[in-house]
Amino acid sequence: MVGPRGVRKAAVVALFLLPSAVPLLLFTIAPMFGAAWISLHDWNLQSPMRWTGLDNYTRLLGDAATRDALLHTLYFLGLYLPLVYVLGLALAVGLNRRFPGRSLVRSMYFLPVVTSWVVVALTWKWLLNPANGLVNHALEAVGIPGPGWWASAGWAIPSAVVASVWKDAGFVMVILLAGLQSIPEEYLEAARLDGASAWQTFWRVTFPLLTPSSYFVVVISLISGFQVFDQIYVMTGGGPAGASRPLVQQIYDLTFRYGDAGGASALSLLLFALILVVTVVQQRLLRRWVTYV
C-alpha cells in the first residue's frame, strides 16, 4: 500500500524530475525511435508511409552522392584534425611559459571559440573571396595568383578547414594547456637533471603525460568533425555542384530537397553508428596509448 507519505514523496520526485524528463522523452528519445521507424519506410513527408524494410540502407550504401558526401566529410576531417591539433598544441606549449601579458594573449586566441559558426564562415567567406577578398589581394601583391577558394571545387573544403581551424585552435589550446599545467614539475626537472634536451623532454616526458588531454580533444574534434555542416553550408552551400557537400547536408538535402525522409533517416542513423564505432575504437586505443600520471 502506498500511504499518503508515499504519494507525497512521489509528487516531490515528479516535481523535480518531470520538467526535464518529459521534454527529453518527447524531443530526444521519441524522435530517436522515430528516426529508426522512418528509416524503414519510403516516405516523402506528405503521402502515406510505405514499408520498405532495409531498402533505404542498402540503397544508400550504393548511392554515389552519399558516398561523395562521406568522402567530403572524411577529407575535411583529414585536413582539419591534424591542423587544429598541431596548432593548438604549439600554442599551448608556448603559453605554458610565463611572460607578461600571457593571459591577454590567451584570451585573444580563445576569442574565435565563442563566435558563432555562421559569423566565422561569413568572415572567412569574405576574407577568402576569390575576386575581392583580402587574402587574394595580399597574394596578388606578392605576385602569387590566388586560388578560387570556396568558389572552386578543389579549394572549397580546404577553405572551410581554414575557417574551422581558426575557430577551434583556441579550444584545443585551452584543453592542452590545462593538461600541460597538471604535469608535475618534478618529472620535467628529473629529465633535465638527466641531461635531456628540451626536445627530448618534450617527446619523452611532456607529450606522453599529455595523452589524456590529447585524447579528449581528439575525440571531441572527431565527433564534431563528422557532424560538420554550418561552416560548409554557409561558405559553399555544399558546392560548387556538390563538390563540398558533407554528410549532414546530405541528410538535410535528402529530406527537404529530394523528399526522401526515409533515406535521410537511414543516413542519419548510419552517421550516428559511425560516430559510435569511432568512439568505441578510440576507447580501445586509449587503453593502449594513454599514459596517466
Least gap, CB of 173 to another protein (angstroms) = 10
Taking the C-alpha atoms of residue 4 and residue 115, their distance in angstroms, rounded to an integer, is 53
What mask, x for binding another protein by CB under 8 A, covers residues 46 to 75? Answer: ------------------------------
157 binds another protein (CB under 8 A): no
CA distances from 169 to 5, 64, 90, 115, 153 (A): 55, 33, 10, 13, 25
Looking at the Cβ atoms of 58 and 107, the one nearer to another protein is: 107
CA distances from 291 to 177, 190, 235 (A): 17, 18, 40
Nearest to 121 by CA among 228, 232, 238: 232
89 binds another protein (CB under 8 A): no
Burial bucket for residue 69 (CB in 10 Å: 0-12, 13-18, 19+):
buried
Q: Which of 55, 63, 230, 253 binds another protein (CB under 8 A)?
A: 230
Q: Which stretch binds another protein (CB under 8 A): 57-65, 110-118, 188-196, 281-289?
A: 110-118
Looking at the Cβ atoms of 75 and 215, the one nearer to another protein is: 215
Q: Which of 73, 201, 213, 221 binds another protein (CB under 8 A)?
A: 213
User: DSSP string spanning 275-288?
Assistant: HHHHHHHHHHHHHH
Q: Which stretch binds another protein (CB under 8 A): 71-79, 152-160, 175-183, 184-192?
A: 175-183
Least gap, CB of 78 to another protein (angstroms) = 20
Looking at the Cβ atoms of 106 and 153, the one nearer to another protein is: 106
Taking the C-alpha atoms of residue 222 and residue 226, their distance in angstroms, rounded to an integer, is 6
> Which positions from 7 through 26 interact with another protein, judged by CB under 8 A?
9-10, 12-13, 15-17, 19-24, 26
Least gap, CB of 179 to another protein (angstroms) = 6
Q: Which of 75, 202, 207, 252 binds another protein (CB under 8 A)?
A: 252
| DSSP class of 28 | I
Phi, psi of 229 (to 5 degrees): -155, -65
**Number of alpha helices (DSSP H) and beta strands (DSSP E) in the chain:** 15, 2
